[in-house]
Structure 1
Amino acid sequence: MTQPLEISPRASWRVQAAGHLGWMRGAAGAAMGIAVAGAVTILLVGGKGAALPFLVAPLGASAVLVFCVPASPLAQPWAVIGGNLLSSVIGLTAGHLLGDPWLAASLGVGLAIAVMSLARCLHPPGGACALLCALGASGRIPWDAVYMLPITVNVLLLCSFGWLYNNLTGHPWPHRPPRLPEPSRHAYSRSDIEAVLADWNEVLDVEIDDLDAFVQALLRRGARNV
């Protein structure tokens, strides 16, 4: 039987920091992505009014997902774009229609989650976009539709840089499940995975195809070590 390889704490730290998906890679990508989004947004909207932001806070949370967990279903391009922009529109609309910040914020976030789920673009920072826009639209100086300009530019630029950076650093984005070396010969099927997930009654932040590939790789590794 093959003995597991011992890794020293110092070597483990280096792997965590600079490995294939180490935190240094994610931190560098997020920093550059935010820098690009902010700089270009200033150039595009800087002369359209001092009140317009050049960066919106939810973009920081989106950067964590895009650059640190690029395989997550919550971090895919449609999730980032659709989740943030649909939620922003919902927040602005709720703020203008309801007027009251407390009511607009609570209903805006709830409705944004429902719409993101139905549109298959669930993205946690989308909830923050809905909250931000609901508060802005129901504030003393109500935000109008022009505030969608910097938000849209921010999101599209972050996704564009995320696509470039992730693919250049070995993480195809949009994510594609690993190719299995041969057809599955194990005593389970995709429907079995779906049934187990249904029994658990939980939402896991991983695609079924990725789960299938992981289990098969684990079984192959176990078979080699016997």
Structure 2
Amino acid sequence: MKKNAWIGTVASELRAYLGIERNNTSHREKLISALGAALAIVCVFWATQRALGAGLIDVSTSFFIIASMGASAVLLFAVPHGALSQPWALAGGHMISALIGLICHKLIDHQTLAAGVAVGGAVAAMYYLRCIHPPGGATALTAVTGGDTVYQLGFDFLLVPILTNVLLILSVALAFNGLFPWRRYPVHLGRRIKPVVSAESSGRETEITQEDFAAAIQEQDSFVDITAEGLTELLELAKQHAERNVVHPREIIAGRCYSNGKLGRLWSVRQVVDESSEPPPTQDRVIYKVLAGEGAYDTGICLRDEFRQWARFEVTLKNGHWMKTGESVDEAQR
């Protein structure tokens, strides 16, 4: 038992240091994201090649699609609700970063220094202009290290390929994500057409628990790269979930798991691993092990009544998340 606990502790700590989070999105959503990204890149290639063939773009402009668009496709189709994926972040991030990269190439002779200043300057500019888009850093770097093809374009690089690529991939993102009601892109569009929540919000005293947040995240069925508005919406879902799922344990039974229903570092799940057979109340004790949260993998012993006062409800582990007993994953997603 001690060996298993040690292995569990090491694995948990390693996962935390590496930043490995559980992904709650469905297989359907993952496949839709992959399909959307593939279609976007195909459309950008096809449209620019047609423009080249029709003479709308100078044939010498062979650098007609930039690699950073692949990274943008990941954000627009895998994280369409994220702040980094919104239209201004996409357009502003690429255009401003490209401009800074071109200026650095023109003014700084040492390419290594120019590359560093370009990426650093792009990050700062995106911060202040509220258009942080990680692929923009790659665009700034391309403007400095792209070679003669990019250098010959000069500031025309902003129009072809940057602006044309941005407009094409944005058009595909708007059309493709619009086919699926739950994929809100841009995210503000989803807020405008979404019906107002009818649940009463006045006089609420229901405490939000860790399990309610887990259920709300599963209900989203999307990779969560959350904005302030998105967090508010998630909190609202968690409140509704708490109000319709208030459960308190009537009995403390050996072998079952219980949660204290708190949030963050105070949240904890304990399993009753053994109990005494002595008559209550003074000798009626339980032995428990902490399975998750505060004091994970610790063991303890206390009176059954003390444990009951600590526990708020019984929980079970489903799909890597602790859920209130009797609640299925499908119920949490509705």
**TM-score bucket (shorter structure):** 0.7 to 0.9
**Corresponding residue for 1:128?**
138
Equivalent pair of 1:52/1:147 in contact (CA under 8 Å): no
Equivalent pair of 1:180/1:213 in contact (CA under 8 Å): no
TM-score, normalising length: structure 1? 0.77
| Residue from 145, 158, 162 that aligns with 2:173 | 162
Kindly name which structure, 1 or 2, has the bigger radius of gyration based on alpha carbons: 2
Relative contact order (alpha carbons < 8 A, sep ≥ 6): 1 or 2 greater? Answer: 1
Aligned-partner Cα distance in 1 for 2:75–2:186: 13
Deviations 1:88-147 (A, max 9, x none): 11111111110221111100011111111111111000011011112237x698341232
Cα RMSD (Å)? 2.4
The verdict on how the C-alpha distance between 1:225 and 1:35 changes in structure 2, with shifts beyond 3 A counting, is same
TM-score, normalising length: structure 2? 0.53
**Corresponding residue for 1:56?**
66
Q: Which moved more, 1:145-154 or 1:204-213?
A: 204-213
Aligned AA for 1:162? A
**Corresponding residue for 1:7?**
none
Equivalent pair of 2:33/2:78 in contact (CA under 8 Å): yes
Q: What is the Cα deviation at residue 182 of structure 1?
A: 4.5
**Corresponding residue for 2:328?**
none
**Secondary structure at the counterpart of residue 187 of structure 2:** coil
**Corresponding residue for 1:206?**
226
Confirm whether residue 112 of structure 1 aligns to residue 122 of structure 2: yes
The verdict on how the C-alpha distance between 1:119 and 1:56 changes in structure 2, with shifts beyond 3 A counting, is same
Q: What is the Cα deviation at residue 50 of structure 1?
A: 3.6
Q: Which moved more, 1:168-177 or 1:34-43?
A: 168-177
**Corresponding residue for 2:47?**
40
| Residue from 142, 151, 159 that aligns with 1:142 | 151
Equivalent pair of 1:95/1:136 in contact (CA under 8 Å): no
Aligned-partner Cα distance in 1 for 2:156–2:52: 10
**Corresponding residue for 2:27?**
17
Aligned-partner Cα distance in 2 for 1:162–1:53: 22
Aligned AA for 1:164? A
The total of aligned residue pairs comes to 193
Q: How does 1:146-225 map to 2 (within 5 A)?
A: 146-148=156-158, 149-170=160-181, 171-176=183-188, 177=191, 179-182=196-199, 184-185=201-202, 186=204, 205-225=225-245
Structure in which a larger fraction of residues adopt strand: 2
| Residue from 49, 52, 66 that aligns with 2:76 | 66
The verdict on how the C-alpha distance between 1:152 and 1:140 changes in structure 2, with shifts beyond 3 A counting, is closer
**Identity over aligned pairs, percent:** 34
Structure in which a larger fraction of residues adopt helix: 1
The verdict on how the C-alpha distance between 1:141 and 1:43 changes in structure 2, with shifts beyond 3 A counting, is closer
Aligned-partner Cα distance in 1 for 2:67–2:31: 22
Aligned-partner Cα distance in 2 for 1:66–1:120: 17
The verdict on how the C-alpha distance between 1:77 and 1:140 changes in structure 2, with shifts beyond 3 A counting, is closer
